[in-house]
Amino acid sequence: MTQPYRIEPDLDFVRDVIRSGGDTLKKCFQCATCSVVCPLSPADEPFPRKEMIQAQWGLKDKLVKDPDIWLCHNCNDCSTYCPRGAKPGDVLNALRKKAIEHYATPKAIARRVGDPKYLPQLIAVPAILIAVIIALTNLWWHGDGPTRVVHGETIVLDQAIRSWEMIPMWAVDVLFLLTALFSVTVFAKGLLKFWKDLEAQRTRKIGILPAAVDVVKQIATHSNFKECGTNQERYLGHMGVFYGFVALFITTSCIFAGVYFVNLVVHVPLTPWPLWNPVKLLGNLGAIALLAGLFLVIRNRLNQEGDDTASSYYDWFLLGIVATVGTTGLLAEWVRWLGIGFLYYILYYIHLVAVWSLFAYTPFSKLAHIVYRTTALVHNRACGRELLTKAPAVALTETQGGEST
């Protein structure tokens, strides 16, 4: 006989979930309407019914490693149909926050990212850090007189506005490379732990690679988002943000590679590159996609607010950073064209602070879903759990066929 599961409810965990946007958690009375209406729930051990009671009972150890909270794409059908006014969509959202907090180290940062109290601290870190770097590099560098050496090239200063006049490019790059390295390390640690937990829960039936290929296809087409048929706007919005980021990532990588590596072989002109440059063009298109997507996502959130879902601080934190990154980036560019140097430097400074925040806080913020959701999807795919909607759909057609004959 199997050993019974020893229940040790964690009251603080319950309180945390409630505080993190899962305030309707306790309303659930386990009718399982949510699991039935969910278009993404697997046929075996469907969610979110079981997550609701586990969260009510404060079973933290079960929930943080539960891959199913990552299968949810937050369409909120469950919340719409809940007869009791509980919002499983919001609860899962809060649980994902708790899971990110659980896997991300150091805990001190994780805790601060999720708590509005610490927002000034979180902003102050990059603001001061970058300000200090600007101050130091200016002190040390501006002694050069009317010329600058950038990447071995001596530039005569003129009226043109150049980002590196405020902060040297190498300083930015060193800072961001180090930050990225930190993030990757945090992610790697969390991911290893998460994967181990996943492996302990279910046995894979197919290899990781084919599963990963499927998931990448899924993500590229946003097919899971499309399953949530009730919410086309979110699908488009997320798609915009996603591909905006992809485009910006490619742009940044190209410039980085160009400046540091290609430049060693062939001369690559200094930035800013002209707008007609395909890389630059891609970057601008990416920024527009990002902002357009963001607009849709935010509008959608505001429209749904209080209805089927309530957005938490954790949601707005990420949206705020992304919005700042996108708008300051684009505005800085426009202001540079307009030749307003003063405004450009302010915007660029804010942009740097925002981008740093995005880099540094990603493993602790909602953006960490890039890693955990992808991992959970791959593992789930590898375990061969089928969508609930697909399984009964077959049965339903059979019955209908049977009736007609």
Q: Which is nearer to other proteins, 17 or 110 (CB)?
A: 17
> Cα–Cα distances in Å, from 62 out to 58, 74, 95?
9, 20, 11
Among 9, 116, 120, 210, which residue sits at the site for other proteins (rule: CB under 8 A)? 9
Q: Is 150 helix (H, G, I), strand (E, B) or coil?
A: strand
Which one of 7-15, 98-106, 191-199, 238-246 is the stretch in contact with other proteins (CB under 8 A)?
7-15
User: For 153, which DSSP code?
Assistant: E
266 forms part of the interface with other proteins (CB under 8 A): no
Site for other proteins, residues 340 to 399, rule: CB under 8 A: none
* Identity at 357, one-letter amino acid code: S
The minimum distance between CB 14 and other proteins, in angstroms, equals 5
Q: Which is nearer to other proteins, 84 or 112 (CB)?
A: 84
Question: Interface mask (CB under 8 A) for other proteins, residues 12-31, using x and -?
Answer: --xx--x-------xx-xx-
50 forms part of the interface with other proteins (CB under 8 A): yes
Among 20, 33, 41, 54, which residue sits at the site for other proteins (rule: CB under 8 A)? 54
CA-wise closest residue to 254 among 222, 216, 286, 217: 286
Burial class (CB in 10 A: 0-12, 13-18, 19+), 114: buried
Give dist(CA 164, CA 156) in Å, integer.
Answer: 13
Asked if 107 contacts 366 with a C-beta cutoff of 8 angstroms, the reply is no
Tokens 């509005």 belong to 116
45 forms part of the interface with other proteins (CB under 8 A): yes
Which one of 56-64, 189-197, 273-281, 339-347 is the stretch in contact with other proteins (CB under 8 A)?
56-64
Residues near 58 by Cβ (< 8 Å), separated by ≥ 6?
9, 10, 11, 12, 13, 14
Could you check whether the bond before residue 126 is cis, i.e. omega within 30 degrees of 0? no
Q: Which is nearer to other proteins, 8 or 398 (CB)?
A: 8
53 forms part of the interface with other proteins (CB under 8 A): yes
Among 5, 158, 274, 403, which residue sits at the site for other proteins (rule: CB under 8 A)? 5
The minimum distance between CB 380 and other proteins, in angstroms, equals 18
HSE at residue 228, side-chain half, CA atoms within 13 A, is 22
The minimum distance between CB 114 and other proteins, in angstroms, equals 18
Site for other proteins, residues 61 to 100, rule: CB under 8 A: 84
Largest CA distance in the chain: 91
Number of residues that bind other proteins (CB under 8 A): 24
Residues forming contacts to other proteins in the complex (CB under 8 A) are 2, 4-9, 11, 14-15, 18, 26-27, 29-30, 45, 50, 53-54, 56-59, 84
